[in-house]
A and B are shown apart, each in its own frame.
Chain A
Amino acid sequence: MAVRREFIAAAAIILVIILVAAYLATRPEEVAPAATPTTPAQTTPTGATATPTTPVGTPTTPAVKHVEIDTLRISQRADLSSIDVQVATDAPTLSVFSHVYETLFKIEFDEQGRASFKPWLVESYKQVNETVWEFKLRAGVKFHDGSPLTARDVKASFERGPKVGGLPRILLGPVKEVQVVDDLTFRLILKYPFAPLIAHLSHPSTAIIPAKVAELFPDKPIDDIKYIIGTGPYRFVEFVKGERTVLEAFEGYWGPKPTVKRIIWYPVPDDSTRVSYLEAGRADVITHVPPHLVKSLKDKGFQIVQIPSTRVIYIGINVERIPDARVRQALNYAVDKNAIVQVVLEGAGSVATAPISPAVFGYTKLDPYPYDPERARRLIREAGWEGKELVFITPQGRYLRDREIADAIKNYLEAIGLKVRIEVMEWAAYINRVTTQKDFDLFLLGWSTVTLDADYGLYSLFRTGAPFNRMLYSNKEVDAYLDMARETANPALRQQYYALAQQLIWKDAPWIFLHYEDIIVAMKPGLVKVEIQPIERWILTYAMLEVRG
């Protein structure tokens, strides 16, 4: 009896603590830091601030001035997954490396978030013929170890990349040979005409590393941070796994001088803790803000940047197990994509209007399949698929609310008369199964077209036999358009081919087309010129602090 009474009393105490703590924790006052701007500034989504004028900055009004920053602290969800820029594929790692390494071309975004490519380490270039391009490197560029950048470094980087990394292998796949002409001049000889070349040369996986590092690790990832040597505005100075990564401005940088001296990256896996880092003033910028905390952060005066990313989330359909296009279309009609975005994602996304995102060259706006369970049921009946069981595999914790999305989809599909068996898997086991086995009907994945050219988002995923065509989809017509688009130089023509290919893919429905994920980043008040790119990359090099008076 006494035990039971104690138990009830203990439960009561916990309840009281919960209530008191919840009250304390959500008390609104005394949170707004001193320098709060009167209106939480909605920073320009894509920044486009790569060229600061003077170190002091140009004041927009006489009362406001921009000052340089000594140490900027940013907290991401994940730690570096690899210390080798040519091996890494994930956004958190490539964001860090985008400060350390540089590419031949640089992506810039306009106000609408459209990308363009600007020669960067390259000063000038010309296309000699269909398959030969000649580039001239910028003179006076130095690596962090003081050695000058030469054409030999480019050759070594491009030869090593495909041997160690999956991304360089795709991005540099069309390159047959790198010919060094002189110290600063080189030629790329292609296997076939390849229009998206410049886009590929702007991706961090094609960044230039010193030839001597490439020679030390010709076929395996580098194994010590002392080999993290780039030409970028920051030197890599410290990496304590699970604790922090520290970058320091590189004195010998050839480009505009960074306005931030030191950047410290803290990996904080727990969403709520990461938000606390910002609120407690331990981080100035945090990424992957959970959507349900956006409002409270805004109310407390923090800046929120929310923009659509280039990542599309889809349910791949195993076309060999579901060969009937009517069934695949039915799956698309059965799912209310709007509801998923509004309810499951709490608005942190937008319904997909193509297999690639609007920021990508080649994007063609298509009409999403309307939510029409009646029609879906009819198509399923016509195809004779009523009551069939589908095996649906999904990862958990890889994408925003992935598991919850899968559950919602299961319910939608069961509502049209199918049976669905969900198998939730932890990422490592999941990616292995998706890649090596075909014992499932549906799978949830995301794909970010990080080159911002449709070739990477369409060719690699939808062409017959392409490496990431995990749906085993095959349509000769689509193949033909994708082939022509990659070999044609004329952008207008390419756009047309991609439009045709996307229309066919949309109709064939090898995916349940879902949504584009939003990027949500929060910053302390007064921080400006942080560039948030839709490819999930955050550039802090030219950030400044806005000070009044």
Chain B
Amino acid sequence: MLLNYIAYRLTLYIPTLFIILFVVFTLVKLLPGDPIRVMYGEINPPPEVEAALREKLGLDKPLIVQFLLYVYRIFTGDWGKSIATGEPVLELAVRRFTATLELTVASLAIATVVGITLAYIAAMKPNSAIDRLIGIVSMAGYSMPVFWWGLILILIFSVNLKLFPPGGREGLESLVLPALTLATVNFGIIARVSRAAMLEVSTQDFVAAARARGFSERRVMLAYVMRNAVITIVTLVGLRFGILMGGAVITETVFAYPGIGRMIVETGIFARDYPVLFGGVVFVALVVMTVNLVVDILYAIVDPRARVARG
């Protein structure tokens, strides 16, 4: 059953990827501007250089040929080289993505632990003062503008207290401030949604039945309510994970953190380094799709109904 479901999901994977490639390709083609011109600043590049590069990038061929060539290269692992620095794009994407992954895992770990704990406390006593307070704190967290909050953390912990570096990526300590910044934004959402999920589950008959059997409130909450609320929470954390994988561009910029989001925006888009842009976006798309797939499979494991529904 489970295997069937996984197979079914995998068959959706390929067409989705193809659609993504097509959209990325089309959007990039619609971008005005040119990598060589950007590299040369206010100066005009020599026409031979432009022509040679165009040929090398295949920009002189018909669009459909360019697209097929591009798909072919993606699938054969030839992701090209950065126009500006000659670095192989796949290597570059993997390195930058590792940085993003570290940041994502660190921030989501903090956000999930804090978020679920708060949700649990809030759901124990709905509509109490403590529930309200948690609600307020959560809302404050996810309403915080990241670029501002990031700078404030830098000023307090880096400039004044000299505890953590203000940016860059050298050792674990440079992960602390950007992870905290992203965690601030995410724990609130996780807390709010988890609380709602727990409350919804606790109105179900089987919870009332558990209570009627005289189980302790703690046991009811953990074994019955949480177990079922986890489905929603896994889905949400998976979604947030997917979003963060695309790179938290603003946070990465504030902390001069070399994540994949900044690579796509600064090198790919601003400098029109097409191989980097294509490679970065496709890489992220692949990862997000894979994460979603894993989340759905997890979902099917946690909640047997999900597999049954697909037959």
Assembled-state Cα–Cα distance A7/B188 (Å): 13
Beta-carbon contact of B137 and A13 below 8 Å = yes
Known: A14-B140, A87-B39. A82 touches B85 (CB 8 A): yes
Assembled-state Cα–Cα distance A56/B199 (Å): 72
Beta-carbon contact of A82 and B167 below 8 Å = no
B256 contacts partner chain A, Cβ-Cβ < 8 Å: yes
Beta-carbon contact of B41 and A25 below 8 Å = no
Beta-carbon contact of A280 and B159 below 8 Å = yes
- Chain A residues 275 to 308 lying within 8 A of chain B, measured CB to CB, are 276-277, 279-282
Known: A27-B160, A277-B166. A219 touches B48 (CB 8 A): yes
Q: Which residues of B contact A7 (CB under 8 A)?
A: 139
Contact of A276 among B45, B137, B159, B270 (CB under 8 A): B159
Q: Which residues of A contact B271 (CB under 8 A)?
A: 81, 428
B153-168 near A? 1/0 per residue, CB < 8 Å: 0111011101001111
| Nearest-Cβ distance from residue A431 to partner chain B, whole angstroms | 5
Which of chain A's residues has its CB closest to B33's CB? Answer: A428
Known: A280-B162, A426-B270, A427-B270. A241 touches B87 (CB 8 A): yes
Assembled-state Cα–Cα distance A200/B296 (Å): 63
Q: Which residues of B contact A375 (CB under 8 A)?
A: none
Known: A6-B135, A90-B41. A432 touches B258 (CB 8 A): no
B144 contacts partner chain A, Cβ-Cβ < 8 Å: yes
Contact of A273 among B31, B48, B255 (CB under 8 A): B255
- Chain A residues 427 to 449 lying within 8 A of chain B, measured CB to CB, are 427-433, 435, 445-447
Of B33, B135, B166, B267, chain A has the most CB atoms within 10 Å of the CB of: B166
- The interface-forming segment of A97-105, A135-143, A159-167 is A159-167
Beta-carbon contact of B37 and A223 below 8 Å = no
Beta-carbon contact of B85 and A163 below 8 Å = no
Known: A17-B140, A277-B167, A428-B270. A239 touches B85 (CB 8 A): yes
Contact of B144 among A14, A221, A273 (CB under 8 A): A14
| Nearest-Cβ distance from residue B269 to partner chain A, whole angstroms | 8
A269 contacts partner chain B, Cβ-Cβ < 8 Å: yes
Beta-carbon contact of B136 and A9 below 8 Å = yes
Of A5, A27, A169, chain B has the most CB atoms within 10 Å of the CB of: A169
B132 contacts partner chain A, Cβ-Cβ < 8 Å: yes
| Nearest-Cβ distance from residue A200 to partner chain B, whole angstroms | 14
A240 contacts partner chain B, Cβ-Cβ < 8 Å: yes
Interface size for B (C-beta < 8 A) is 66
Beta-carbon contact of A273 and B84 below 8 Å = no
B105-138 near A? 1/0 per residue, CB < 8 Å: 0000000000000000000000100001001110
Assembled-state Cα–Cα distance A280/B162 (Å): 6
Beta-carbon contact of A445 and B42 below 8 Å = yes
| Nearest-Cβ distance from residue B159 to partner chain A, whole angstroms | 4
Q: Which residues of B contact A276 (CB under 8 A)?
A: 151, 154-155, 158-159, 166-167
A387 contacts partner chain B, Cβ-Cβ < 8 Å: no
Known: A25-B160, A30-B160, A429-B33. A446 touches B42 (CB 8 A): yes
Beta-carbon contact of A163 and B165 below 8 Å = no
B195 contacts partner chain A, Cβ-Cβ < 8 Å: no
Q: Which residues of A contact B46 (CB under 8 A)?
A: 162-166, 169
Of B37, B156, B159, chain A has the most CB atoms within 10 Å of the CB of: B159
| Nearest-Cβ distance from residue A93 to partner chain B, whole angstroms | 10
Beta-carbon contact of B132 and A241 below 8 Å = no
- Chain A residues 176 to 212 lying within 8 A of chain B, measured CB to CB, are none
Q: Which residues of A contact B171 (CB under 8 A)?
A: none
B169 contacts partner chain A, Cβ-Cβ < 8 Å: yes
A14-57 near B? 1/0 per residue, CB < 8 Å: 10010001101111001100000000000000000000000000
Q: Which residues of B contact A367 (CB under 8 A)?
A: none
A257-287 near B? 1/0 per residue, CB < 8 Å: 0000000001111101100110111100000
B40-76 near A? 1/0 per residue, CB < 8 Å: 1111111011001100100000000000000000000
Beta-carbon contact of B167 and A268 below 8 Å = yes
A63 contacts partner chain B, Cβ-Cβ < 8 Å: no
Beta-carbon contact of A431 and B158 below 8 Å = no
Q: Which residues of A contact B56 (CB under 8 A)?
A: 220
Beta-carbon contact of A270 and B43 below 8 Å = no
Beta-carbon contact of B43 and A170 below 8 Å = yes
Inter-chain contact total with CB atoms closer than 8 Å: 202
Which of chain A's residues has its CB closest to B163's CB? Answer: A280
B253 contacts partner chain A, Cβ-Cβ < 8 Å: yes
Beta-carbon contact of A89 and B168 below 8 Å = no
A545 contacts partner chain B, Cβ-Cβ < 8 Å: no
| Nearest-Cβ distance from residue A175 to partner chain B, whole angstroms | 15
Assembled-state Cα–Cα distance A89/B166 (Å): 29
Which of chain B's residues has its CB closest to A167's CB? Answer: B43
Beta-carbon contact of B43 and A468 below 8 Å = yes
Beta-carbon contact of A21 and B33 below 8 Å = no
| Nearest-Cβ distance from residue B174 to partner chain A, whole angstroms | 10
A422 contacts partner chain B, Cβ-Cβ < 8 Å: no
Known: A25-B152, A83-B84, A241-B87. A427 touches B38 (CB 8 A): yes
- Chain A residues 441 to 466 lying within 8 A of chain B, measured CB to CB, are 445-447
Beta-carbon contact of A432 and B33 below 8 Å = yes
A491 contacts partner chain B, Cβ-Cβ < 8 Å: no
Assembled-state Cα–Cα distance A182/B5 (Å): 77
Beta-carbon contact of B42 and A89 below 8 Å = yes
B263 contacts partner chain A, Cβ-Cβ < 8 Å: yes
A2 contacts partner chain B, Cβ-Cβ < 8 Å: yes
Which of chain A's residues has its CB closest to B144's CB? Answer: A14
Known: A31-B159, A81-B84, A89-B42. A241 touches B152 (CB 8 A): no
Assembled-state Cα–Cα distance A21/B145 (Å): 14
Assembled-state Cα–Cα distance A385/B140 (Å): 54
Beta-carbon contact of A282 and B168 below 8 Å = yes
A370 contacts partner chain B, Cβ-Cβ < 8 Å: no
Contact of A435 among B44, B84, B158 (CB under 8 A): B44
B214 contacts partner chain A, Cβ-Cβ < 8 Å: no
Assembled-state Cα–Cα distance A272/B159 (Å): 11
Assembled-state Cα–Cα distance A430/B156 (Å): 38
| Nearest-Cβ distance from residue A485 to partner chain B, whole angstroms | 21
| Nearest-Cβ distance from residue A487 to partner chain B, whole angstroms | 23
Contact of B165 among A25, A26, A166, A280 (CB under 8 A): A280
Other 19 A-B pairs with CB < 8 A, given A31-B159, A268-B256, A428-B272: A6-B139, A10-B140, A14-B140, A14-B143, A24-B160, A83-B86, A87-B40, A90-B41, A164-B49, A165-B45, A241-B258, A243-B168, A272-B151, A426-B33, A428-B31, A428-B32, A431-B41, A467-B43, A467-B44
User: What are 13 A-B pairs at a CB distance below 8 A?
Assistant: A2-B132, A5-B132, A6-B139, A10-B140, A13-B140, A89-B41, A163-B49, A242-B263, A243-B169, A276-B151, A276-B166, A428-B37, A445-B42
